[in-house]
Amino acid sequence: MTDINPGDLVTLKGMRKVKEKPIGMVKKKWATNDLEIFWLNEDIAKRFAVHKILDPSRVEILSRASPLSP
């Protein structure tokens, strides 16, 4: 499993090649290992009935956020 961090763009697993898919940005990583996601296209996210807090095994990374330099 890949490490998903705040700022990464994600979608639901298995939807990488689908044209209309919910795209979200990871907002927060909870202590329970769940992710809080801000959905960028809410109308499509509502169609797929996705929630704001998801298990990381249900999402895949579209684009990683660049790491901060010290």
Q: Both tokens of residue 55?
A: 């298990």
> Is 43 a residue whose pLDDT tops 90?
yes
Give the residue among 37, 42, 43 at the shortest CA–CA distance from 59. Answer: 37
Give this prediction's pTM: 0.83
pLDDT number for residue 70 = 55
Q: Are 53 and 34 spatial neighbours (Cβ–Cβ below 8 Å)?
A: yes
Average the pLDDT over 50-57 and give the result. 93
pLDDT surpassing 60 at residue 69: no
- Confidence at residue 1, expressed as pLDDT on a 0 to 100 scale: 53
Residue 68's pLDDT is what? 61
- Confidence class for position 59, pLDDT limits 50, 70, 90: very high
